[in-house]
């Protein structure tokens, strides 16, 4: 049996090449893989295609998130449900680079983002959704009418890697998340070729997690690292 447990975050991201597509879990804090992002920043991979709910820096947080890679020009493209802050007066670090044309973006409804990721990890070639009908999001997309209602064809969104933050795991990689930490974790774990997980709690032995209580089966998990107790505040689960 392959050992999925890595000692350091640096080893876990060492092989990621320039140009890789990477999914980042997380929604407004919970689930954000801060330690993996910090490690990839140290590693130096460039031209990343980042797939994430936002391009990072939600609010005034000083915590590590995707904006670290964006600001250091490691990201070529972002696929997300936000390319601007929700309040027009607030600016994300991403915004300046995007408006200057130095970074590309694909903006989509959040449910469409989630379902495209789900489809990629579920062997589904495409799906129809009503989200975005009659808006700019529909531009260039097939519109099909089912039972009198229009829907847009949306295609799967796979990735080379997924960075996920979960709460507990056993040695086979069976994962549990805590509360709203779960968000994109389970669907990204299935949609990526290589799934790398940072964990709040030490690994338990297989058998210690009730099979009925597994959120992400270990078959979808390739690498795991436990967040060390002495992790700095920039990479801890806090805001």
Partner 1 sequence: MTNKKPIDRQAMANRIAMEFQDGWVVNLGIGIPTLCSNFVHPDKEIVYQAENGVVNYGPMAVDGEEDLWLVNAGGQYVLPQPGMATMDHSDSFALIRAGYVDVTVLGAYEVAANGDFANWRVTGRKGGGIGGAMDLAVSAKNVYVIMDHTTRDGQARLVERCALPLTAVGVVKLIATNLGLIEVTLSGFVLKEIAPDYSPEEVQALTGAPLAIAPGLREFQVAS
Q: Which residues sit at the interface with partner 1, rule CB under 8 A?
A: 27-30, 58-59, 81-88, 92, 94-95, 98-99, 105, 107-112, 114-115, 117-118, 129-137, 167, 177-187, 215, 237-239
Name the residue nearer to partner 1 (CB basis): 46 or 178.
178
Torsions phi, psi for 177 (to 5 deg): -110, 165
Cα torsion 115, 119, 121, 125 to 10°: value is -160
In the complex, what is the shortest distance from the CB of residue 110 to partner 1, in angstroms, rounded to a whole number? 4
Residue 23 or 194: the one with the smaller Cβ distance to partner 1 is 23
Of 121 and 223, which has the nearer Cβ to partner 1? 121
Least distance (Å) from partner 1 to the CB of residue 128?
A: 11
CB-side neighbour CA atoms (13 Å) of 57: 16
Q: How far is the CB of 224 from partner 1 (least distance, A)?
A: 18
Cβ 31 to partner 1 shortest distance, Å:
8
Rounded Cα distance between 14 and 204, Å, is: 25
Task: State whether residue 85 is helix, strand or coil.
Answer: coil
CA 179 to CA 129: how far, in whole Å?
Answer: 27
Pair 75, 40: CB distance under 8 Å: no
As measured in angstroms, the least distance from the Cβ of 2 to partner 1 is 26
Alpha-carbon gap, residue 200 to 166, rounded angstroms:
7
End-to-end CA distance of the chain: 38
- For partner 1, give the closer residue by CB, 189 or 225: 189
CB of 14 or CB of 155, closer to partner 1: 155
């Amino acid at each position: 049996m392959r050992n999925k447990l890595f000692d350091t975050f640096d080893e876990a991201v060492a092989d990621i090449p320039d140009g890789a597509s990477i999914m980042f879990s997380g929604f407004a804090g919970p689930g954000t893989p801060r330690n993996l992002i910090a490690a990839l920043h140290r590693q130096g991979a460039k031209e990343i295609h980042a797939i994430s709910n936002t391009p990072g820096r939600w609010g005034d947080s000083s915590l590590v998130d995707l904006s670290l890679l964006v600001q250091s020009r490691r990201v070529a493209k972002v696929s997300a449900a936000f390319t601007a802050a929700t309040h027009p007066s607030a600016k994300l670090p991403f915004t300046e680079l995007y408006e200057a044309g130095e970074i590309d973006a694909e903006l989509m409804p959040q449910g469409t983002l989630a379902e495209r990721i789900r489809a990629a990890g579920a062997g589904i070639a495409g799906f129809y959704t009503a989200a975005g009908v009659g808006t700019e999001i529909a531009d260039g997309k097939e519109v099909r009418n089912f039972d009198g209602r229009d829907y847009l064809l949306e295609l799967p969104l796979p990735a080379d890697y997924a960075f996920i933050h979960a709460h507990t795991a056993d040695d086979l990689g069976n994962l549990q998340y805590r509360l709203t930490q779960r968000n994109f974790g389970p669907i990204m774990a299935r949609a990526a070729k290589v799934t790398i997980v940072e964990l709040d709690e030490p690994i338990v032995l297989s058998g210690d997690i009730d099979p009925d209580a597994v959120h992400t089966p270990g078959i979808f998990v390739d690498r795991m690292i436990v967040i060390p107790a002495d992790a700095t505040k920039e990479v801890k689960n806090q805001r």
